[in-house]
Amino acid sequence: MSVILVALGAALGAPLRYLVDRAVQARHGSAFPWGTFTVNVVGSFILGVLIGGAAVGAVPGSLVALLGVGLCGALTTYSTFGYETVRLFEAGRRFHALFNAGASVVAALGAAFVGVALAEALWS
């Protein structure tokens, strides 16, 4: 059953990633990959809330499989983050590349920590 839930979540997360990425990037029109940055930070926050909720018994494992592993797994994208960072570097946009690498890691980890803390505060 878990595999089916993961697949269903991923079937929602992948097109959602594409649509959010395109919508955010269209609004900014810059070389910086704001769309990928956004989906990675939002996905990290959602996963943090789910894992934090599961840790205190408020979120069932089936929901973690559906939304955490499936949806967030397909919504977030480390490979695109890596590719876009390398592409920026190769295009001579070294500041953008370094900022993307540093800010993405810090923001995504921070969002996950905030998500866990929020879940624990809500459900503890």
pLDDT for position 74: 97
Q: Which carries the bigger pLDDT value, residue 52 or residue 124?
A: 52
Q: What is the mean pLDDT of the chain?
A: 97
pLDDT for position 99: 97
Which residue ranges are tagged as binding site? 73, 76
Q: Considering the entire predicted model, what is its pTM?
A: 0.95
59-93 residue pLDDT tens: 999 999 999 999 999 999 999 999 999 999 999 99
Pairwise CA distance, residues 43 & 66, whole Å: 13
Pairwise CA distance, residues 30 & 47, whole Å: 28
98-115 residue pLDDT tens: 999 999 999 999 999 999
Which residue ranges are tagged as binding site for Na(+)? 73, 76
Q: pLDDT exceeding 90 applies to what percent of the chain? A: 96
1 pLDDT tier (thresholds 50, 70, 90): confident
pLDDT for position 109: 98
**Is the distance from CB of 103 to CB of 36 less than 8 angstroms?**
no
**Is the distance from CB of 33 to CB of 100 less than 8 angstroms?**
yes
